[in-house]
């Protein structure tokens, strides 16, 4: 349901019928913001938001491994990104290595996009050189400082890396925690050495997309589309607010479309039964969230009784833009309670595939062959069932598929060929992107 003139609609998809005594309630909530002009808030009483002040920081990996074709393509991509910025957007370009260095402007501030600053920025980008290591947390920390010194509402960053982060997990996590909520960051891996797990960490902390590619030639188009998407955002600080009944436990809240982002750990308590989950900045777009609630077994309804499992609302500060109800109705009719909601089932399968690949690759990295084989086997099986043959092909680079339908696989020996590994990383990122079911 939508609130009058907010331009945002929340729709709930679920099978509300539960068998006697059941306590688990799952629902997919589709949130759609303004298909028309302006997007979120455009229809509201406030001023038009199409020109909400925006800021952009472009972080380009300039570590030693970037030398050659990669730095050439990275320069091109950064230049295209700068060209795509709307006039008036505050921006900076940062070179990342063992530390973060301002490329443009020279001082540690944001410049205002215009013909002169864009051309000066591109000039500076031409001089980007590769050398040194990869300390991603340090780059993000500089971006944070730049954003904090500026008053833009829509804050977006692009992070490009070709390698694994050289910082300790703790340092990296501390940097991410500091940045969370301040800006949205899309991260990209290029070449053969980046880690999907690290990019996913950035995506989950900073609510952005994560993608990776072997060939740097694709960077230019990718950077353009990232900036275009960022320029389309009209409002930041949108949260999914969840009310759950006394004694209930929120099992998880995940964005499941367009990409899987687990928001469960990002909850901020509003009151005892209400919590907010950040969703970042919005333009005219539609996203799906999977909400799973475990009700208190002591308060299960009688047959025929109906209870609310969650009130889901879309809020900006405390303004409610849209809301929907997740319900539970207990029934003794098995035909009703056994029915799976198609959307819930679809995204449950997609999320299981994504986590099977991520867990399998993590186990493989750690040398845990048994877990790696089991999880990657399951991933092959799930990808086969859901018709994702591209994922199966990528996984087949790291496992020998003996029977795709049963998920029987054998882990391949690790070779010196990095190309094999990066295919698995691409599969890990690719499996996070979901398709929507056609409405039925």
The residue ranges that bind another protein (CB under 8 A) are 1-2, 4, 9-11, 243-248, 273, 299, 301, 303-309, 311, 322, 325, 327-329, 331
- Beta-bridge partners for 311: 243, 325
Dist. CA 159–CA 223, nearest whole Å: 10
Least distance CB 409 / another protein (angstroms) = 44
| Nearer of residues 3 and 365 to another protein, judged by Cβ | 3
Least distance CB 300 / another protein (angstroms) = 10
| Nearer of residues 94 and 328 to another protein, judged by Cβ | 328
Dist. CA 337–CA 19, nearest whole Å: 5
Least distance CB 262 / another protein (angstroms) = 25
| Nearer of residues 108 and 341 to another protein, judged by Cβ | 341
| Nearer of residues 244 and 391 to another protein, judged by Cβ | 244
Least distance CB 49 / another protein (angstroms) = 21
| Nearer of residues 23 and 391 to another protein, judged by Cβ | 23
Dist. CA 182–CA 278, nearest whole Å: 11
Least distance CB 214 / another protein (angstroms) = 45
Which residues contact residue 26 at a Cβ distance below 8 angstroms, ignoring those fewer than 6 apart?
14, 290, 291, 292, 293, 341, 344, 348
| Nearer of residues 296 and 419 to another protein, judged by Cβ | 296
Torsion, Cα 73 79 80 82, to 10 degrees, reads: 150
Least distance CB 18 / another protein (angstroms) = 13
Dist. CA 54–CA 33, nearest whole Å: 19
- Beta-bridge partners for 157: 57, 185
Report the chain's terminal Cα–Cα distance, integer Å: 19
DSSP 271-293: ETTEEEEEEEEESS-EEEEEEEE
């Amino acid at each position: 349901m939508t609130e009058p003139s907010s331009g945002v609609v929340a729709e709930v998809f679920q099978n509300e019928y539960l068998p006697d005594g059941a306590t688990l309630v799952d629902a997919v909530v589709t949130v759609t913001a303004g298909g028309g002009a302006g997007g979120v808030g455009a229809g509201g009483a406030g001023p038009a938001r199409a020109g909400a002040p925006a800021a952009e920081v472009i972080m380009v990996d300039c570590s030693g491994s970037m030398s050659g074709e990669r730095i050439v393509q990275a320069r091109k991509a950064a230049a295209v990104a700068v060209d795509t910025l709307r006039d008036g957007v505050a921006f900076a370009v940062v070179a990342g290595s063992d530390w973060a260095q301002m490329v443009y402007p020279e001082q540690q501030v944001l410049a205002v996009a215009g013909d002169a600053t864009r051309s000066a920025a591109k000039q500076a980008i031409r001089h980007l050189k590769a050398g040194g290591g990869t300390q991603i947390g340090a780059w993000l920390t500089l971006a944070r400082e730049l954003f904090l010194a500026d008053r833009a509402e829509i804050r977006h960053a692009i992070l490009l890396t070709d390698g694994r982060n050289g910082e300790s997990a703790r340092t990296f996590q501390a940097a991410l925690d500091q940045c969370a909520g301040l800006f949205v960051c899309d991260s990209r891996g290029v070449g053969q050495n980046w880690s999907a797990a690290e990019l996913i960490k950035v995506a989950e902390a900073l609510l952005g997309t994560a993608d990776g590619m072997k060939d740097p030639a694709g960077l230019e188009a990718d950077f353009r589309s990232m900036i275009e998407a960022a320029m389309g955002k009209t409002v930041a600080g949108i949260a999914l607010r969840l009310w759950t009944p006394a004694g209930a436990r929120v099992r998880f809240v995940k964005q499941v479309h367009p990409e899987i982002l687990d928001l469960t750990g990002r909850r901020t308590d509003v009151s005892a039964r209400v919590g907010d989950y950040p969703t970042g900045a919005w333009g005219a777009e539609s996203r799906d969230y999977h909400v799973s609630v475990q009700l208190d077994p002591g308060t299960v309804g009688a047959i025929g009784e109906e209870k609310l499992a969650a009130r889901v609302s879309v809020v900006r500060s405390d303004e409610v833009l849209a809301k929907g109800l997740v319900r539970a109705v207990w029934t003794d009719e098995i035909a009703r309670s056994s029915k799976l909601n198609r959307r819930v089932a679809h995204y449950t399968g997609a999320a299981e595939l994504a986590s099977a690949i991520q867990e399998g690759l993590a186990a493989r990295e750690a040398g845990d062959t048994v877990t790696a084989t089991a999880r990657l086997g399951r991933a092959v099986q799930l990808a086969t069932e859901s018709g994702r043959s591209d994922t199966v092909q990528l996984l087949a680079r790291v496992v020998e598929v003996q029977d795709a339908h049963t998920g029987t696989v054998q882990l391949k020996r690790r070779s010196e060929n990095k190309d094999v590994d990066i295919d698995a990383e691409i599969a890990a990122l690719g499996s996070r992107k979901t398709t929507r079911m056609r409405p039925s």
